[in-house]
């Protein structure tokens, strides 16, 4: 699926929605390793961007997004509208990241 055909909006400029296939999602549950936790804790002493945690978050969001797009493709979608992320801490050091949206079939105008 082309990334240009995924959007947080509920329409895609230049396209018309011909079929709504329903909600699709990708979910990743991730924990920090002891080394990542120690490294991140050391980075907090210096302040600024905590790159170890930033990289972990970015990787987790990318995985959730990719899972969502695969789910949409399995349903026959060629686009996803209304894309959102949600994150929840399940327990200390364990987080869930959910990426979801509405799978649709679009046609170029």
CATH of the domain at 34: 3.30.110.70
Q: Which helix (H) or strand (E) holds 30?
A: strand 15-31
Rounded to the nearest angstrom, the gap between the alpha carbon of residue 68 and the centroid of all alpha carbons in its chain is: 7
pLDDT tens column, 31-65: 765 545 555 455 566 656 667 677 888 999 999 99
* pTM (2 d.p.): 0.82
Q: What is the pLDDT of residue 10?
A: 97
The fraction of the chain above a pLDDT of 70, given in percent, is 81
CA-to-CA separations, 60 to 14, 19, 51, 76, 98, in angstroms, rounded: 31, 30, 14, 25, 9
Task: Tell me how many domains the chain contains.
Answer: 1
Looking at residues 1-24, what average pLDDT do you find?
96
Q: What is the pLDDT of residue 107?
A: 97
Tokens encoding 67: 């899972």
Residues 6+ apart with CB under 8 A from 81: 6, 7, 9, 10, 11, 12, 17, 101, 102, 104
- Average pLDDT taken over every residue of the chain: 86
Domain that holds residue 59: 3-108
How many Å apart are CA 31 and CA 36, to the nearest integer? 10
Tell which wins on pLDDT, 18 or 2: 18
């Amino acid at each position: 699926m082309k990334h240009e055909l995924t959007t947080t909006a509920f329409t895609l400029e230049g396209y018309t929605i011909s079929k709504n296939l329903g909600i699709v999602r990708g979910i990743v549950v991730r924990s920090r390793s002891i080394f990542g936790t120690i490294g991140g804790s050391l980075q907090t002493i210096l302040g600024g961007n905590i790159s170890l945690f930033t990289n972990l978050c970015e990787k987790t969001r990318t995985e959730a997004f990719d899972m969502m797009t695969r789910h949409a493709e399995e349903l026959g979608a060629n686009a996803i509208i209304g894309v959102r992320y949600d994150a929840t801490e399940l327990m200390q050091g364990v987080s869930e990241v959910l990426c979801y949206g509405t799978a649709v079939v679009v046609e170029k105008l």
